[in-house]
Amino acid sequence: MEQRFTMVSLGVRDLNRAAAFYEDGLGWKRSSDSNESIVFFEMGGVLLGLYSWDGLAEDAKVSPEGTGFSGITIAHNARSTEEVDRILDTAKAAGAKILKPAEDVFWGGYSGYFADPDGHLWEVAYNPFWPLDEQGHPQLAD
């Protein structure tokens, strides 16, 4: 198996509400491949898909009744601490719940967390050890 992933799918309770959060609230552009059942966002080489919560659970053959922490967060690395603060403010204005206001963290960076309208956890972080290239891709040390 190649070391990569191509898509993150989020189960959402209300597709229109979720799409509006990401499009109108965060200012993202929906892919033309979207339809009435799924909404796609191109994320710099990886796709984010929004799909019915129950439909995604059915597709994976698991119960849709999951509760609590799911064991996964999605991260967005910012170019500065100021950008982290701006993104968290934008997310809050769009309807996100701020779970952890941005703060200096033990590993030497600066980060905070928000939950989207369906409770998916997003970390917004500035990592001074991972500079971002022009496309926003982190440059890891080899």
Query: What are the average pLDDT values for consecutive 10-residue runs of the chain, which has 142 residues?
Result: 83 96 97 93 92 87 77 90 97 96 94 93 93 88 70
Residue 66 lies in a domain: no
Q: Which domain holds residue 105?
A: 72-142
- Sequence length of the chain is 142
- If asked whether residues 89 and 36 sit together in one domain, one would say no
Kindly report the pTM of this predicted structure. 0.84
Domain boundary among 14, 38, 59: 59
Residues 6+ apart with CB under 8 A from 102: 81, 84, 85, 88, 110, 111, 112, 124
Phi/psi for 15 (5° steps) reads -60, -40
- If asked whether residues 41 and 88 sit together in one domain, one would say no
- If asked whether residues 76 and 136 sit together in one domain, one would say yes
pLDDT tens, residue by residue, 79-93: 999 999 999 999 999
Phi/psi for 111 (5° steps) reads -155, 160
Residue-level pLDDT at 99: 93
Residue-level pLDDT at 81: 98
Residue-level pLDDT at 142: 66
Run of H or E residues at 11: strand 7-12
Residue-level pLDDT at 94: 97
Q: What CATH number does residue 89 fall under?
A: 3.10.180.10
Q: Is 95 exposed, middle or buried (0-12, 13-18, 19+ CB in 10 A)?
A: middle
- If asked whether residues 76 and 129 sit together in one domain, one would say yes
Number of domains in the chain: 2
- If asked whether residues 81 and 137 sit together in one domain, one would say yes
Exposure of 8 in the CB half-sphere (CA atoms within 13 A): 16
Run of H or E residues at 93: helix 81-93
pLDDT tens, residue by residue, 50-70: 999 998 888 777 788 876 677
